[in-house]
A and B are shown apart, each in its own frame.
Chain A
Amino acid sequence: MRDEDAVAALIDRIVAQAHIPSRAQRDDLRRELWTHFEEASGSPDDTRDAVRRFGAEALIAESLRDVYRWDYVLWYLAKIAAAVVASIAAALLIEVVVNLRVELQAEVWRLAPGFSRAAGMSVAVVLGLITVWEAARRPFNRSRAAIVVGAYAAVCLAVRLLFLSGVGALLTATSLVGIGHWCSKLAPWPSRLLVLVCAFAMALYVNHFLLNVAFGPSRALMAGAILGAVWASTVVILRHVDRAFARIFEPTES
């Protein structure tokens, strides 16, 4: 690699690791660092010396990241808000579609009686999945994981205070998310969804059996399939939102 290319690569790495959300500011920093090396180096030996004098790349990138940390945090919160809103909207849409009933004689559309409970469970699963998704993101970050799990716990606590009946649903949803997360590591994509639906159905069946609530295997399978659809739609949304978020910080061509 030519010295000039090595310097350009070094600058690109620093700019990328600085997590600066504004393209104009990234370009400005790149141009500033480039002019620094332009002046600091004349010959190849000078260039190598300039790179050495410049200091540790990771340390400088980290210091720059600190400078722009709040911009990053704001974008990250916006990303989470977008993921939550879009995923809940998709989950509710799925629940509405499967719970919509038509009374032909009266020509009335109405939602099945169990809609609100099913919708509540779907929303809880969505929130749990987003929590696991962010907490387990690589590279693993202990503070991020603690914050998202704490936020999920706060939501659970708020539900506990507002709707006493919602606690059982949240516990069920949390266990379903655990099962779903475990299943998502098992098999490749199409069979993974099948395993996930079966696991959800089995968990719901056992849960209702333990609570002495009538819930046949076919109903459990249906409910598992619906939750599987909610899970899949949330995963698709999270991937899209993640890609959009990553694009904000992508380095631009110099």
Chain B
Amino acid sequence: MDYDREFLTGTVGVLILSLLAEREMYGYEIVQEAGRRSAQALQLKEGTVYPALHQMERNGLLKAIWRDGPAGRARKYYGLTAKGRRRAESKRKQWASISGAMRAILGDAHA
């Protein structure tokens, strides 16, 4: 499904923080994981994930490290810092509250 760009603005950050709260991942893996979990409903333009990752790294939410992946190839893995964990939790709560409110407005059939 194609979503409006404005609709997705702000969700990329939540999505990245939520996925990285579970384990360290690299950029392509984040995109793949988001697609897999949403049954391909949420297909990001893959390049958009990198500016978001770099911004969050500069803001001290993420730390990055190069290391070999399962296939033996070096990948840049991102993980949450303590500040990132707090932000992830805060964003998750905000998102739950907003989605609950939207569900109440639209009705369960549309949520």
Contacts and interface: CB of A to CB of B under 8 A. Distances in A.
B45 A55 contact: yes
A39 B26 CA distance: 11
Given A29-B54, A35-B74, A67-B55, A55 B48 contact: yes
Contact of B45 (A29, A54, A67): A54
**A interface secondary structure, majority:** helix
Interface string B38-57: 00000101111011101100
Interface in A35-86: 35-36, 38-40, 50, 53-57, 59-60, 63-64, 66-68
B58 interface: yes
B28 A67 contact: no
Interface string B73-89: 11110000000000000
A33 interface: yes
A32 interface: yes
B105 to A, nearest CB: 31
Contact of A29 (B50, B58, B66): B50
A249 B22 CA distance: 36
Nearest to A36: B28
A32 B28 CA distance: 10
A35 B75 contact: yes
Interface of B: 26-28, 43, 45-48, 50-52, 54-55, 58, 66, 73-76
A29 B75 CA distance: 12
B47 A54 contact: yes
B76 A64 contact: no
Contact of A38 (B45, B51, B58, B73): B73
A242 interface: no
Given A28-B76, A29-B50, A59-B47, 6 more contacts: A35-B28, A35-B74, A39-B73, A54-B45, A64-B51, A67-B55
B51 A53 contact: no
A117 to B, nearest CB: 49
B45 to A, nearest CB: 3
Q: Which 10 A-B pairs have the closest CB atoms?
A: A55-B45, A63-B51, A55-B47, A60-B47, A54-B47, A67-B55, A32-B76, A67-B54, A64-B51, A36-B28
B27 A32 contact: yes
A38 B75 CA distance: 11
Contacts of B76: 28, 31-32, 35
Nearest to A14: B47
Nearest to B29: A39
A55 B50 CA distance: 11
Nearest to A64: B51
A54 B75 contact: no
B73 A64 contact: no
Given A64-B54, A67-B54, A67-B55, A39 B47 contact: no
Contact of A63 (B48, B58, B73): B48
28 contacts: A29-B50, A31-B66, A32-B27, A32-B76, A33-B50, A35-B28, A35-B74, A36-B27, A39-B28, A39-B73, A40-B46, A50-B46, A53-B43, A54-B46, A55-B47, A56-B45, A56-B47, A60-B50, A63-B51, A64-B50, A64-B51, A66-B51, A66-B55, A67-B51, A67-B54, A67-B55, A67-B58, A68-B54
